[in-house]
Structure 1
Amino acid sequence: MKSPYSRHFLRLGLLAAGVATAVTGGPAQAAGGVAVTMDSVRTTANQRHHTQYRDSFTVHQLGTVTAARVSNRANATSSGCTADDACRSVALSFQIVTLSGQNVRLSAINKGRAVNDHCTGCQTLAGAYQFVVSTPKATRLTPAAQRELADIHRRLDALGGSRLPATELKHKADSLAAEVSALLARPTSTTAATTTRPAVKVHRHLDGWPGR
């Protein structure tokens, strides 16, 4: 599995600010061309709350920066349940980041962590998906792309009402992440479709029980 922490330098073109889509999460903070954005999801299942599901689906438009630190985390814990009365804890976080500039110093952290604490037969899944989008010219997501992202977000939310085992939820989450990646990489996802093909870097970190 790849390290959830990566540092790399990007040479990026200009990217226009202003992505509007149906997402949640805190705004990025920027000062002197340095941007910081953090997203996290945490769930805890126990004898009082046997089933816990939360997801996050955020889009952050950082604009032109000299440096950026982006962090995405999912943490799921199951505690104190038994095989006859098992718990399920699922935390999924999807983070989409767009940024631009020359010689941008980018620090990207993406981590999923699942913990079973004396929880026999419990299902625990933490999934962190991070998408970093860059283009050589100023661009923005089209309304059609925004609608498609909103639809993927709705389907991610819908997983909370399913009774699928954790192993199948992993496949569902991976499938939705693949849709996000393919959508963001399409030339038609941006207003500069005829001249710009977005570059998408994807970080994925899944952790959980059962481990298959």
Structure 2
Amino acid sequence: MNTHRNTRTSSRSRNALRFGLLAAGVATLASAVPAQAAEGFRSARDDVRTTANHFHHVRVRDSFTVHQLGAVGAADVRNQVVATGAGCGADDACRSVALSFQIVTLAGEHVHLNAVNTGRAVNDHCTGCQTLAGAYQFIVETPRPVRLDRDTLRRLDAVHRRLDDLGRSGLPAAELKKRADALATEVTGILKNAHPAEVTVHRHLQGWPGH
């Protein structure tokens, strides 16, 4: 019996030793990882595309997204919009509208941020087409992680519904541009009111005919 007990104790000691060496190895590995990698890399992607042609004379699409990334060491955020009118004649009245509102919140003292925001309107042999591509990107940076509260999200959702209504309104592209700009100004105010932090806004609109 004593021999059996000693054997079990010895086995536990070996297991404890192996665990201790493993823990030490993990600690060494963690200390070797750069702080940026430890904080993590996050990304956000939004891509809105529409194509109007002689099969589908009117194409309208919008996106309104909120990405709360939390604490990051590096982030890559992209908001890309393309509206295309293709092959319509002067009597087809083709209309292609693509709009995207991308909201990104992130935290960190020295974040390596790559932000891309592009809007492109394409007229491909499309006489008399109306195309509008509007990309709006709102970036909220804070030293420590914060979450948008329920009231802020509710207010943003109300803007989202109005953006949906705007896309379905049938207004000329030039008027859509003005109203989309007004909604973007409202979003900026909501975000600034939610947190005393700087809000960076990237805006890229392109339309055909040029406006």
**TM bucket, shorter chain:** 0.7 to 0.9
Contact kept? 1:81, 1:120, Cα under 8 Å: yes
State whether structure 2 residue 39 is matched by structure 1 residue 40.
no
Partner SS, residue 92 of structure 2 = coil
Q: 2:183 maps to what in 1?
A: 176
Q: 2:132 maps to what in 1?
A: 125
Equivalent in 88, 92, 100 of residue 95 of structure 2: 88
Higher strand content, 1 or 2: 1
> How far apart in 2 are the matches of 1:177 and 1:113?
18
State whether structure 2 residue 207 is matched by structure 1 residue 208.
yes
Q: Considering only aligned residues, what root-mean-square deviation do their CA atoms show, in Å? A: 1.5
Equivalent in 109, 112, 118 of residue 111 of structure 1: 118
Alignment of 1:30-69 (within 5 A): 33-69=40-76
Contact kept? 1:86, 1:119, Cα under 8 Å: no
Q: 1:142 maps to what in 2?
A: 149
Q: 2:77 maps to what in 1?
A: 70
Which residue type is aligned with residue 200 of structure 1? V
Q: Using CA pairs below 8 Å that are at least 6 residues apart, which structure has the higher relative contact order?
A: 1
Q: 1:17 maps to what in 2?
A: none
Contact kept? 2:108, 2:144, Cα under 8 Å: no
Higher helix content, 1 or 2: 2
Alignment of 1:6-21 (within 5 A): none
> How far apart in 2 are the matches of 1:87 and 1:61?
37
Contact kept? 1:125, 1:206, Cα under 8 Å: yes
> How far apart in 1 are the matches of 2:202 and 2:38?
26
Structure 1 length as normaliser, TM-score?
A: 0.79
Larger CA Rg, structure 1 vs 2:
2
